[in-house]
Chain A
């Protein structure tokens, strides 16, 4: 067996969100989900979007992915207009979204098979490499339902990383996991970021998670969804989610979040 292939990884991208607004109109509700969002994300940066449920953070992520079209404004990835989903910006969802009709290896291969310019042998090597990266090479031929929640999200991470996207968009990927598994995945994700330096946008409602992972944390407030505050987390990586330094940031962000919630309720009343 040869050593791990050392693929040349694609450089991280910068992502620019300009004046993005989105309104959802249904017969029962008319919600201004996002209101003129401006956001610049630098290459290799991890940006966390935090807010209560319903603040539009998932919608913003969908717009960055190209899965949803904004009513106004635009998203630029590497100065190119985002007009639809593309394999340079892969999404990791809250539920793993792994395909049950494929085994673990088949799932990791799914995105790779749709990436041009590779031979099938190379694709298999890359898939194996990423299974090793998330420590699940032994489960290569397991079926999705045989995996635990944490293992599923690891496979989902491998599936998203394997086609070597420039941006990783993560929509509360660890929300459904238990605390211990989650801490482990924070470490895994930081390790992977150390070697791969992907640009990551991470949506969560967990302030501690945001502070642990993000270079910058943005606070979103609901109806209309707006970016309210920005926090720079100037701690070296790898970070420990339960360190006292981190706790100070968590406290500040939580405080701001609560204040925002009160004011938004007042304006709504």
Chain B
């Protein structure tokens, strides 16, 4: 309760500061609209559905691409952690491609797939895949060997050993990799949406870009606020429960 109050006070203070900056008159209201204008934009955009629709389009792309990235990255990460050949080939490739900012995939995606949903999806998958792969690989390499030995004596071999022992044992690494993958995916998708107009759906990035083209600063800031809020909610909903689970089970990070 007290913590919620502190958060509310903090946000109120930020808005007050913003309001003070706009009323000081030092900056043009075109460049720095007052909080009220942004709130009005958000209210209107919520009511006429553009914001909800854009957020829906963006989240659908993001979640689908993210899921595909994890579905490929997890097993590949487990594979690179066991096989030297996989490590030298796929592992090295992942290491190299992870250093490539995921925005750099956009030109290639456009040439390959054109201005389509597939291009968007591709960029998100590339943003997610390598972080998840590398984190899983690190996780599987760092588990105490005694877990695998104990599992083998109890009759856990092959697929069962991978899914019931190696994967859960590397969860602390996997979750942080998934978190990083989420951040990368989110960034690359925003970049892609700002760059490219796709007629099958206007996402938040498009709204942001149109705001710029119309010099509608209230829209630009409004959409940015929405993007930040979605990011926060995703973190609280997807990752906080996972992290709480890990802390509880592993006994880490407890006071």
Contact = CB atoms under 8 A, between A and B. Distances in A.
A100 B153 contact: no
A163 interface: yes
A90 B149 CA distance: 10
Contacts of A57: none
Contacts of B144: 95, 97
B251 A99 contact: no
Nearest to A86: B155
Contacts of B160: 114
B168 A101 contact: yes
A21 B23 CA distance: 86
B152 A111 contact: no
A52 B190 CA distance: 63
Contacts of B168: 99, 101
Interface size class of B (residues with CB under 8 A): 20 to 34
A98 to B, nearest CB: 8
A129 interface: no
Contacts of A130: none
A157 to B, nearest CB: 13
Given A99-B169, A101-B169, A163 B154 contact: yes
Contacts of A36: none
Interface string A161-182: 0010000000000000000000
B165 interface: yes
B21 interface: no
Contact of A67 (B152, B155, B249): B152
Interface residues of A, number: 27
A218 to B, nearest CB: 22
B116 interface: no
Contact of B153 (A67, A95, A101): A67
Contacts of A90: 153-154
Contacts of B154: 87, 90, 110-111, 114, 159, 163
A85 interface: yes
Contact of B147 (A87, A99, A111): A99
B249 A101 contact: yes
A97 B171 contact: no
A67 B149 contact: yes
B12 interface: no
B155 A115 contact: yes
Interface in B90-123: none
A91 B155 contact: no
B36 interface: no
B152 to A, nearest CB: 4
User: Which residue among B144, B160, B171, B251 has the maximum number of chain A CB atoms within 10 Å of its CB?
Assistant: B251
B244 interface: no
Interface string A45-68: 000000000000000000001110
A159 B151 CA distance: 11
B153 A146 contact: no
A40 to B, nearest CB: 22
A162 to B, nearest CB: 10
B22 interface: no
B238 interface: no
A103 B248 CA distance: 10
Contacts of A97: 144, 146-147, 149-150
A79 B106 CA distance: 65
A93 B251 contact: no
B242 to A, nearest CB: 12
Nearest to A162: B154
A139 interface: no
Contacts of A228: none
10 contacts: A84-B152, A93-B146, A97-B147, A97-B149, A100-B169, A100-B249, A101-B168, A101-B169, A110-B156, A146-B251
Give me the 9 closest cross-chain CB pairs, A-B, nearest first.
Answer: A145-B251, A111-B154, A114-B155, A97-B150, A101-B168, A87-B155, A85-B152, A97-B146, A85-B153
Interface of B: 144, 146-147, 149-156, 160, 165, 168-169, 171, 248-251
